[in-house]
Structure 1
Amino acid sequence: MRKVRVVYRKYDGKLHWHQWMTYLGEDQYGVWLGAPAGAVAQRGEEPAITMDAACVQLFPRDKWFTASFNDVPAKTEIYCDITTPVTFGDEEFTMIDLDLDVVKRRDGSFYVDDEDEFAEHQVRYDYPPDVIRAAQASCDWLSGAVRTEEPFLTAYKTYLDQVR
C-alpha cells in the first residue's frame, strides 16, 4: 500500500492541514487517496485529531481545488478546498489553501465558506490578480458542480468503498 503525505499550506507558507493517506488510484477526475475512520489529521502544530468517518480525497490535475468525500456519520458529505493546483510528488502532495470552501451537507444543503477570510487574505498576503481570479472561478464552478456533476454524484463512492 502506497502512503502519501497530504500537505496544505497557507499562502505565506505556513503549515495548514496535513495527514497521511493511502493511494487508491487515478481516473479522469484525478488522483484519489483514502483514509479509514480512526485516521488522524493535524492542523499546523495543533494536536492531532482522529477522524470519525472514512473519507476519500480527490486531487485533480491542473485544477484549483481538492475535494473530500466523507462517509457517515459525518454531517458534511463533500468538502472542497479552493487551492492552487496540486504539486504531485511520489510521497507527498502539496498545495496552497486559498481559504474558500464549497460544502455540501449530507442533508443536501450547500454553502460557500470563508469568503471573509478570502477577502482578508487577498490584502494581507497580496494575492496576485490571477490567483484571485482562478480561485473565484473555481469556487463559482464548484458551487454548481457539487450538486449536478461527476465526480460529485456517484464516482467517489467506489473509492469510499475501498476505505470503509
Structure 2
Amino acid sequence: MADLVRVIYRKYDGTLHWNTTMRRLGEDEHGVWLGQPAGGTTRKGTGPPVTVECAHVALFPRDAWWTAEFNAPPRRTDLYADITTPPRWRSAAEVTMVDLDLDVARWRGQREPRLLDEDEFAEHRLRYGYSEETVARATASAQWLMAAVAAGTAPFDGAHLGWLEQVAEG
C-alpha cells in the first residue's frame, strides 16, 4: 500500500478541481481514511498552494456518492462532505472523483448539518449536462447525508476521532 495518496477532485467536464496529497491511515467498514496535518497544502485546480490550518481526515467510502472531511479545531466546520461520483482508486497512490457541487456541512458545536451550494448544482446541471441518473444519485446522497449526520449514524458518530488523533499527533 502506498503511504501517500494523491487525491484528485474534478468537475463534471473533467477540469481539475481540489487536489492534494494525503497520508493513508487505514481502512475500516466505512472505507479508506486519509489524513493531513496542520500546515499541509492543497490546491484548487492549478492555483497556488493553500495552507491547511488544522489537521483533518478524509473518508472515501466504497461505492457511495460522497466523500467526507472531518476537521480538528480551530476549523469552524467539524464536518464537510462533498457529493461526488463514487471514489475510484486508479492505483493505491491515487483516488479520483467528480465533485457534484452539493455539500453537507456541520459547524462545530452544532448538531444539525446544512446543505450548501444548491444554486451551483442547478447551474452546473445545465452547463455540464448532468445525466438524470447523476442528478438522482447526487440528490439522494445529499438527503441521506443530511439525515445520517443529524442522527449521528455511523460513520458520523465519532468514528473519525481515532483517525484524527493519528494525524494530530504527527
TM-score class, shorter: over 0.9
Q: Secondary structure at the match of 2:147?
A: helix
| Amino acid of the structure 2 residue aligned with 1:20 | T
Residue 25 (structure 1) shift: 0.6
Give the match for residue 90 of structure 1: 92
**Any conservation in 2 of the 1:147–1:153 contact (CA below 8 Å)?**
no
Give the match for residue 119 of structure 1: 122
Deviates most, 103-112 or 124-133:
103-112
Q: Secondary structure at the match of 1:7?
A: strand
Give the match for residue 150 of structure 1: 154
1:37-62 CA distance string (max 9 Å, x none): 00100000111111110000000010
Residue pairs, 1:7-156, within 5 angstroms: 7-88=8-89, 89-108=91-110, 109-148=112-151, 149-156=153-160
2: CA distance, partners of 1:115 / 1:130: 17
| Amino acid of the structure 1 residue aligned with 2:81 | C
**Any conservation in 2 of the 1:102–1:139 contact (CA below 8 Å)?**
yes
1:15-69 CA distance string (max 9 Å, x none): 0000000001111100000000001000001111111100000000100000000
What CA RMSD, in Å, does the superposition of the two structures yield over aligned residues?
A: 0.9
| Amino acid of the structure 1 residue aligned with 2:12 | Y
Structure 1 gap ranges (5+):
none
2: CA distance, partners of 1:146 / 1:22: 25
Residue 147 (structure 1) shift: 2.2
Residue 107 (structure 1) shift: 2.4
TM, length-normalised to structure 1: 0.98
Structure 2 gap ranges (5+):
none
| Amino acid of the structure 2 residue aligned with 1:147 | A
Q: Secondary structure at the match of 1:74?
A: coil
Amino-acid identity (%): 50
Q: What is the number of residues matched between the two proteins?
A: 164
Return structure 1 stretches of 4+ with deviation > 2 angstroms. none
| Amino acid of the structure 2 residue aligned with 1:103 | A
Residue 86 (structure 1) shift: 0.5
